[in-house]
Amino acid sequence: EAQVTQNPRYLITVTGKKLTVTCSQNMNHEYMSWYRQDPGLGLRQIYYSMNVEVTDKGDVPEGYKVSRKEKRNFPLILESPSPNQTSLYFCASSPTGMRGEKLFFGSGTQLSVL
Amino acid sequence: EDKVVQSPLSLVVHEGDTVTLNCSYEVTNFRSLLWYKQEKKAPTFLFMLTSSGIEKKSGRLSSILDKKELFSILNITATQTGDSAIYLCAVEAGNTDKLIFGTGTRLQVFP
Protein backbone atom coordinates (compact mmCIF):
# COMPACT_ATOMS: atom_id res chain seq x y z
CA GLU A 1 0.00 0.00 0.00
CA ALA A 2 1.32 3.44 -0.97
CA GLN A 3 1.92 5.47 2.15
CA VAL A 4 3.91 8.02 4.05
CA THR A 5 4.80 6.73 7.51
CA GLN A 6 5.63 9.04 10.38
CA ASN A 7 6.84 8.01 13.80
CA PRO A 8 6.03 8.54 16.53
CA ARG A 9 2.33 9.52 16.38
CA TYR A 10 2.50 11.25 19.76
CA LEU A 11 5.50 12.58 21.63
CA ILE A 12 5.80 14.46 24.90
CA THR A 13 9.25 15.75 25.75
CA VAL A 14 11.00 18.40 27.78
CA THR A 15 12.75 21.56 26.69
CA GLY A 16 16.24 21.01 25.30
CA LYS A 17 16.13 17.23 24.80
CA LYS A 18 17.03 16.44 21.20
CA LEU A 19 14.47 14.47 19.25
CA THR A 20 13.92 13.09 15.77
CA VAL A 21 10.63 12.50 13.99
CA THR A 22 11.03 9.97 11.22
CA CYS A 23 9.29 10.03 7.86
CA SER A 24 9.44 7.31 5.25
CA GLN A 25 7.62 6.88 1.92
CA ASN A 26 7.39 3.75 -0.23
CA MET A 27 6.38 5.37 -3.53
CA ASN A 28 9.83 6.35 -4.84
CA HIS A 29 8.79 10.00 -4.65
CA GLU A 30 11.44 12.62 -5.29
CA TYR A 31 9.82 15.49 -3.38
CA MET A 32 9.33 15.44 0.40
CA SER A 33 8.31 18.16 2.81
CA TRP A 34 7.60 18.87 6.47
CA TYR A 35 4.74 21.06 7.70
CA ARG A 36 3.55 22.14 11.09
CA GLN A 37 -0.08 22.89 11.82
CA ASP A 38 -1.12 25.29 14.56
CA PRO A 39 -4.60 26.62 15.44
CA GLY A 40 -5.34 29.83 13.59
CA LEU A 41 -2.20 29.54 11.44
CA GLY A 42 -2.93 26.65 9.13
CA LEU A 43 -0.15 24.47 7.72
CA ARG A 44 3.23 26.11 7.36
CA GLN A 45 6.17 24.58 5.56
CA ILE A 46 9.32 23.91 7.60
CA TYR A 47 11.72 22.32 5.10
CA TYR A 48 11.44 20.54 1.80
CA SER A 49 13.60 18.37 -0.40
CA MET A 50 13.46 18.09 -4.17
CA ASN A 51 15.61 14.95 -4.22
CA VAL A 52 18.35 13.09 -2.41
CA GLU A 53 20.93 15.39 -0.83
CA VAL A 54 18.91 18.49 -1.78
CA THR A 55 17.09 20.34 1.01
CA ASP A 56 15.71 23.87 1.25
CA LYS A 57 14.15 26.03 3.92
CA GLY A 58 10.42 26.60 3.96
CA ASP A 59 8.66 29.41 5.77
CA VAL A 60 9.42 28.44 9.37
CA PRO A 61 12.76 26.57 9.45
CA GLU A 62 14.18 28.05 12.69
CA GLY A 63 14.89 25.41 15.31
CA TYR A 64 14.68 22.49 12.88
CA LYS A 65 17.07 20.42 10.81
CA VAL A 66 16.47 17.84 8.10
CA SER A 67 18.50 15.44 6.04
CA ARG A 68 17.86 13.48 2.84
CA LYS A 69 20.49 10.78 2.59
CA GLU A 70 18.12 8.29 0.98
CA LYS A 71 15.16 8.88 -1.29
CA ARG A 72 12.63 7.24 0.99
CA ASN A 73 13.55 8.92 4.29
CA PHE A 74 13.29 12.53 5.41
CA PRO A 75 13.73 12.86 9.19
CA LEU A 76 12.95 16.05 11.07
CA ILE A 77 15.41 16.87 13.86
CA LEU A 78 14.80 19.23 16.76
CA GLU A 79 18.22 19.76 18.34
CA SER A 80 16.93 21.71 21.34
CA PRO A 81 13.13 21.68 21.42
CA SER A 82 11.27 24.59 22.98
CA PRO A 83 7.62 24.95 24.01
CA ASN A 84 6.84 27.05 20.93
CA GLN A 85 7.55 23.95 18.84
CA THR A 86 4.55 22.22 20.36
CA SER A 87 2.49 21.48 17.28
CA LEU A 88 1.03 18.89 14.92
CA TYR A 89 3.63 17.90 12.33
CA PHE A 90 3.01 16.42 8.89
CA CYS A 91 5.39 14.88 6.45
CA ALA A 92 4.32 14.77 2.80
CA SER A 93 5.69 13.54 -0.52
CA SER A 94 4.91 13.85 -4.21
CA PRO A 95 6.35 12.17 -7.30
CA THR A 96 8.43 14.90 -8.97
CA GLY A 97 8.54 18.41 -7.61
CA MET A 98 5.81 19.89 -5.45
CA ARG A 99 2.49 18.88 -7.01
CA GLY A 100 -0.37 19.62 -4.70
CA GLU A 101 -2.80 17.24 -6.35
CA LYS A 102 -0.40 14.35 -5.87
CA LEU A 103 0.77 15.23 -2.38
CA PHE A 104 0.59 12.30 0.03
CA PHE A 105 0.49 13.21 3.72
CA GLY A 106 1.56 11.12 6.65
CA SER A 107 -0.80 10.65 9.60
CA GLY A 108 0.86 13.33 11.65
CA THR A 109 2.95 13.57 14.81
CA GLN A 110 1.52 15.47 17.77
CA LEU A 111 4.46 16.94 19.66
CA SER A 112 4.25 18.54 23.09
CA VAL A 113 7.34 20.25 24.52
CA LEU A 114 7.08 20.98 28.25
CA GLU B 1 3.66 38.58 1.04
CA ASP B 2 1.68 35.66 -0.37
CA LYS B 3 -1.40 34.77 1.63
CA VAL B 4 -4.50 32.61 1.53
CA VAL B 5 -7.53 33.51 3.65
CA GLN B 6 -10.45 31.21 4.35
CA SER B 7 -13.85 32.02 5.75
CA PRO B 8 -15.70 31.29 7.84
CA LEU B 9 -13.31 29.84 10.40
CA SER B 10 -16.01 27.56 11.72
CA LEU B 11 -19.45 26.45 10.62
CA VAL B 12 -22.08 24.35 12.38
CA VAL B 13 -25.01 23.02 10.35
CA HIS B 14 -27.65 20.31 10.38
CA GLU B 15 -27.67 17.34 8.06
CA GLY B 16 -29.23 18.22 4.74
CA ASP B 17 -28.09 21.84 4.75
CA THR B 18 -26.01 23.29 1.92
CA VAL B 19 -22.78 25.08 2.83
CA THR B 20 -20.40 27.37 0.97
CA LEU B 21 -16.79 27.72 2.03
CA ASN B 22 -14.71 30.64 0.82
CA CYS B 23 -11.05 31.01 -0.06
CA SER B 24 -9.40 34.22 -1.24
CA TYR B 25 -5.76 34.60 -2.14
CA GLU B 26 -2.98 37.03 -2.95
CA VAL B 27 -0.17 35.04 -4.53
CA THR B 28 2.37 36.07 -7.12
CA ASN B 29 2.64 33.77 -10.14
CA PHE B 30 -0.50 31.80 -9.33
CA ARG B 31 -0.38 28.27 -10.71
CA SER B 32 -3.30 26.44 -9.11
CA LEU B 33 -5.68 26.36 -6.15
CA LEU B 34 -6.37 23.17 -4.25
CA TRP B 35 -8.92 22.01 -1.71
CA TYR B 36 -8.22 19.33 0.88
CA LYS B 37 -10.37 17.63 3.50
CA GLN B 38 -8.81 16.92 6.89
CA GLU B 39 -10.81 14.56 9.05
CA LYS B 40 -8.92 12.85 11.83
CA LYS B 41 -5.36 13.66 10.84
CA ALA B 42 -3.88 13.73 7.33
CA PRO B 43 -5.34 16.07 4.69
CA THR B 44 -6.70 14.32 1.61
CA PHE B 45 -6.96 15.91 -1.82
CA LEU B 46 -10.35 17.03 -3.12
CA PHE B 47 -9.94 19.38 -6.11
CA MET B 48 -7.39 21.27 -8.12
CA LEU B 49 -8.48 24.38 -10.01
CA THR B 50 -6.42 26.20 -12.58
CA SER B 51 -8.93 27.95 -14.85
CA SER B 52 -11.61 30.48 -14.03
CA GLY B 53 -15.24 29.53 -14.32
CA ILE B 54 -14.83 25.79 -14.76
CA GLU B 55 -16.62 23.88 -12.04
CA LYS B 56 -15.07 20.78 -10.60
CA LYS B 57 -17.55 18.33 -9.14
CA SER B 58 -17.40 15.15 -7.11
CA GLY B 59 -20.69 13.86 -5.80
CA ARG B 60 -22.17 16.47 -3.48
CA LEU B 61 -19.01 18.59 -3.51
CA SER B 62 -18.22 21.17 -6.13
CA SER B 63 -15.75 24.01 -6.49
CA ILE B 64 -15.10 26.92 -8.79
CA LEU B 65 -12.33 29.47 -9.21
CA ASP B 66 -12.48 33.17 -10.10
CA LYS B 67 -9.00 34.31 -11.13
CA LYS B 68 -10.09 37.86 -11.72
CA GLU B 69 -11.46 38.34 -8.21
CA LEU B 70 -8.88 35.96 -6.69
CA PHE B 71 -11.15 33.59 -4.86
CA SER B 72 -12.63 30.13 -4.88
CA ILE B 73 -15.67 28.54 -3.26
CA LEU B 74 -16.32 25.00 -2.17
CA ASN B 75 -19.96 23.96 -2.05
CA ILE B 76 -21.33 20.95 -0.23
CA THR B 77 -24.99 20.12 -0.82
CA ALA B 78 -27.17 17.89 1.35
CA THR B 79 -24.50 17.71 4.04
CA GLN B 80 -23.99 14.53 6.04
CA THR B 81 -22.29 13.93 9.38
CA GLY B 82 -19.40 12.37 7.45
CA ASP B 83 -18.70 15.77 5.92
CA SER B 84 -17.57 17.03 9.33
CA ALA B 85 -13.91 17.98 8.90
CA ILE B 86 -11.52 20.85 8.43
CA TYR B 87 -11.47 22.01 4.81
CA LEU B 88 -8.16 23.45 3.69
CA CYS B 89 -7.54 25.72 0.75
CA ALA B 90 -4.00 26.00 -0.67
CA VAL B 91 -2.38 27.83 -3.56
CA GLU B 92 0.61 26.76 -5.62
CA ALA B 93 2.88 29.56 -6.76
CA GLY B 94 4.42 28.94 -10.14
CA ASN B 95 7.89 30.23 -9.34
CA THR B 96 8.42 28.26 -6.15
CA ASP B 97 7.95 24.74 -4.92
CA LYS B 98 5.67 25.83 -2.13
CA LEU B 99 2.07 25.29 -1.25
CA ILE B 100 0.57 28.18 0.69
CA PHE B 101 -2.23 27.06 2.98
CA GLY B 102 -5.13 28.96 4.46
CA THR B 103 -6.09 28.47 8.10
CA GLY B 104 -8.94 26.13 7.20
CA THR B 105 -12.69 26.08 7.83
CA ARG B 106 -13.96 23.69 10.49
CA LEU B 107 -17.30 22.24 9.44
CA GLN B 108 -19.46 20.37 11.92
CA VAL B 109 -22.59 18.64 10.68
CA PHE B 110 -25.08 17.46 13.28
CA PRO B 111 -27.91 14.95 12.71
Mean pLDDT across the stretch A50-69?
A: 95
Residue A112 has pLDDT above 80, yes or no: yes
Query: In chain B, which residues have their Cβ closer than 8 Å to the Cβ of A102?
Result: 45
Mean per-residue pLDDT of chain B:
93
Residue A5 has pLDDT above 90, yes or no: yes
pLDDT band, residue A74 (cuts 50/70/90): very high
The reported pLDDT for the residue numbered B1 is: 82
Residue B66 has pLDDT above 90, yes or no: yes
Residue B94 has pLDDT above 90, yes or no: no
Q: How far is A15 from chain B (nearest CA, A)?
A: 25
- Give a three-class secondary structure readout of B36-75: EEECCCCEEEEEEECCCCCCEEECCEEEEEECCCCEEEEE
Query: In chain B, which residues have their Cβ closer than 8 Å to the Cβ of A51?
Result: none
C-alpha–C-alpha distance, residues A63 and B1, integer Å: 22
Mean per-residue pLDDT of chain A:
94
Query: In chain B, which residues have their Cβ closer than 8 Å to the Cβ of A44?
Result: 101
Residue B95 has pLDDT above 80, yes or no: no
Lowest mean pLDDT among A31-40, A90-99, B67-76: A90-99
pLDDT tens digit sequence for B14-49: 999 999 999 999 988 899 999 999 998 889 999 999
What CA–CA distances, in Å, run from B43 to A35, A53, A71, B63? Answer: 12, 27, 23, 17
Q: For A98, phi and psi rounded to 5 degrees? A: -85, 105
Percent of the residues in chain B that have a pLDDT greater than 90, as a whole number: 79
Mean pLDDT across the stretch A7-27?
A: 96
Residue A2 has pLDDT above 90, yes or no: no
Residue B78 has pLDDT above 80, yes or no: yes
Mean pLDDT across the stretch A59-88?
A: 97
Cβ-based contacts under 8 A for chains A and B: 52
